[in-house]
Amino acid sequence: MSEVPEVLRRAHLIGIGGAGMSGIARILLARGAQVSGSDAKDSRAFLALRAQGAVIAIGQSADNLDAFPEGLSAVVVSTAIKETNPELVAARERGITVLHRAQALAGLMEGHRVACIAGTHGKTSTTSMLTVALQHCRLNPSFAIGGDLNESGSNAHHGDGGIFVAEADESDGSFLAYTPSVAVVTNVEPDHLDHHGTAEAYVDIFEQFVGRIEPGGVLIVCGDDAPAALLADHASAAGVRVRRYGRTVTGDENARVLDYTPSADGGFVRVALQGTEIDVKVAVPGEHMALNAVGALLAGLELGAPLEGLAEGLAAFGGVRRRFEFKGRAGDVRVYDDYAHHPTEVAAQLLAVRQTAGAGRVVVVFQPHLYSRTKAFSDEFAAALALADEVVVLDVYGAREEPEPGVTGALIADKIVGAVVHYEPAFDTAATLAVDILKPGDLLVTMGAGDVTQLGPEILAELDRRNEQG
């Protein structure tokens, strides 16, 4: 069993139900650490954590820091935890070490060969693909991902293979805590400007991330993305070994995408690599997903996995929760759910949805995420959503942000041209509206990073009810 850093032997995680925090808790518990935590409300994730021995409190109080007689070695927080949080205040008053989530994860990476997957879009899917492909090769990696694998239902795992695969989050710059030997950058497109301030600062944080690659390590980038390709050029000039993938790259050390053929259950991507051509089955739809698979393929090769085994593993990849996840069928209507919350992600996913929909209409229920992102990219969101046949735009899911005057879902809805558009600020009536506009053969996708994911089951239930009534 891998060692737990001394500072994490008795750790309390504030917001333990979050995707990143729950993953760290899983690995700590598997390695024999004592773990306590708290969150504002109960969660299904707590069932497994409690079964592993975690002490979890609902509600946050300084008293929650007293779970272990020996006292805590560290309190772990994310960027979302405010300085006024009573547990964080108490930890500082007591002199308990406070670690950011990324620092804790970096501690768990010690002693492993580390692969970090970064990028504005596609990092969760690429990390997941790489993890499943390595598992298929029986390398049993540890992993920490921002979503649950459909194969295991888990977002993290302690493996004994000496490899650690992690999704590297650029949103708050915390991925600078990692020192990967294999770093993948899928693309670089300005986002999270509420934290970074400017597009230039956002791009610079990726330059700094590349500077974290350990000596002798490798950077893998999508050469079709201009900013990522420029990042690769800078890295190569600085002496970092670089491998590229995409339609525009050349050279035997790179992976050139020759063709992509969509199919009913995903697609096939033909790749020129190492002097040969191979066909890789990708079980999730869209050429953007095929590119992610090729990036994962290169990373797997760098980690010592065989090409044939990796290709077989990628073909077996069943997807990630909330990444074009099939929720069910009611009559002739199919319902999916997707996490896309940036214009480029929305456009790429809707192009893939169109291939899956066939002759049916594409209907989207879209929930903007963050007031700052909605304000900055309203034009781009409108253009992306116009790829659907009919769109329901909800109000903004503010998450960590306070409302901003004049910034609502209408800012996007009013600019959509070419699709039938509905702006529905009342979340409670959105499912009914969606069912009202659906026709036999339609494919509906709920889309966004907020609680829009709750609507899929409601829509299916209402469709079933109406079908029973005839």
**pLDDT tens profile 398-429:** 987 889 999 999 999 999 999 999 999 999 99
Q: What is the mean pLDDT of residues 259-268?
A: 85
> How far apart are alpha carbons 268 and 277 in whole angstroms?
13
Residue whose tokens read 């690599």: 273
How far is the C-alpha of 327 from the C-alpha of 317, rounded, in Å? 18
Give percent above pLDDT 70 in the chain.
95
Angstrom distance (rounded) from CA 258 to CA 265: 20
Class of domain 111-316: alpha beta
Q: Which of 402, 385, 386, 390 is nearest to 448 (CA)?
A: 385
pLDDT (0 to 100) of residue 320? 61
Q: Select from 432, 138, 459, 59 the least CA-distant residue to 304.
A: 138
Q: Which residue has the higher pLDDT, 218 or 122?
A: 218
**Top-confidence residue, 319 or 438:** 438
The top-level CATH class assigned to 325-469 is alpha beta
3-state secondary structure of 235: helix
User: What is the pLDDT confidence band of residue 172, given thresholds at 50, 70 and 90?
Assistant: confident
Per-residue pLDDT tens for 25-58? 999 999 999 999 999 888 777 888 998 999 999 9
Average pLDDT over residues 167-182: 90
* pLDDT, position 152: 46
Q: Is the pLDDT of residue 76 over 70?
A: yes
Residue among 340, 339, 336, 292 at smallest CA distance from 314: 292
Contact 43, 123 (CB under 8 A): no
Give the pLDDT mean for 229-254. 94
Query: For position 260, what pLDDT does the model report?
Result: 93
* Range 77-96 average pLDDT: 94
- Token duo for residue 265: 């259950």
pLDDT value at residue 239: 95
Question: What's residue 201's pLDDT?
Answer: 87
Query: Is 3:22 a contact under the CB 8 Å cutoff?
Result: no
In what helix (H) or strand (E) does residue 297 lie, and over which residues does it extend?
Answer: helix 287-302
Query: Considering only 90-104, 308-322, 383-397, which range has the smallest mean pLDDT?
Result: 308-322
Question: Is pLDDT larger for residue 2 or for residue 278?
Answer: 278
327 tagged catalytic: no
pLDDT of residue 148: 55
| Tokens 């053929």 sit on residue | 261
Of the candidates 184, 156, 132, the residue with the CA atom closest to the CA atom of residue 19: 156
**Lookup: tokens for 413:** 């809805």
Of residues 164 and 51, the one with the higher pLDDT is: 164
pLDDT attached to residue 29: 94
Q: Pick the more confident residue, 324 or 416.
A: 416
Among 88-97, 113-122, 246-255, top mean pLDDT goes to 88-97
Rounded Cα gap, residues 203 and 246, in angstroms? 20
With beta carbons less than 8 A apart as the criterion, state whether 434 and 444 touch. yes
Q: Indicate which residue of 124, 127, 408, 453 is catalytic.
A: 124
Q: How far is residue 398's CA from residue 145's CA, in Å, rounded to a whole number?
A: 23
Q: Is the per-residue pLDDT at 381 higher than 90?
A: yes
Question: Nearest-CA neighbor of 444 among 467, 462, 465?
Answer: 462
Q: What is the third-level CATH fold of 6-100?
A: Rossmann fold (3.40.50)
> Among 87, 120, 123, 345, which one carries the catalytic annotation?
123
Residue 373 CA to chain centroid, in angstroms? 17
pLDDT at 1 over 50: no
Mean pLDDT of 388-401: 92
Predicted confidence (pLDDT) per residue in 336-364, tens digit: 898 888 898 898 889 888 878 888 899 99
Q: Kind of pairing, strands 333-338 and 325-330? A: antiparallel
Is the pLDDT at 67 greater than 90? The verdict is yes
Q: Which of 87, 126, 131, 167 is catalytic?
A: 167
124 is known as an active-site residue: yes
**Helix, strand or coil, per DSSP, at residue 214:** coil
Q: What is the mean pLDDT of the chain?
A: 90
Q: Domain residue spans in the chain?
A: 6-100, 111-316, 325-469
Annotated active-site residue 415? The verdict is no
Residue 18, Cα to own-chain centre: how many angstroms? 13
> What tokens does 313 get?
């593993």
How much is the average pLDDT of 71-95? 95
CA dist 128 and 361 (Å) reads 30
Question: pLDDT (tens digit, 9 = 90+) per residue, 186-235?
Answer: 999 877 667 667 888 888 999 999 999 999 999 999 999 999 999 999 99
Distances in Å between the Cα of 214 and the Cα atoms of 130, 209, 251 are: 20, 11, 24
Q: How large is the average pLDDT for residues 127-139?
A: 93
Over residues 86-95, the mean pLDDT reads: 97
Q: For residue 58, what are the β-bridge partners?
A: 39
| pTM for this predicted structure | 0.74
- Give the HSE-up count for residue 396: Cα atoms under 13 Å, Cβ half-sphere: 25
* Whole-number pLDDT of residue 2: 60
DSSP 82-150: -TT-HHHHHHHHHT--EEEHHHHHHHHHTTSEEEEEE-SSSHHHHHHHHHHHHHHTT---EEE-SS-BT
Confidence of residue 149 (pLDDT cuts 50, 70, 90): low
Alpha-carbon distance of 445 to 270, in angstroms, equals: 29
Supply the pLDDT for residue 151. 46
* Listed range (233-242, 283-292, 423-432) with the worst mean pLDDT: 283-292
Q: What band does 440 get if pLDDT is binned at 50, 70 and 90?
A: very high
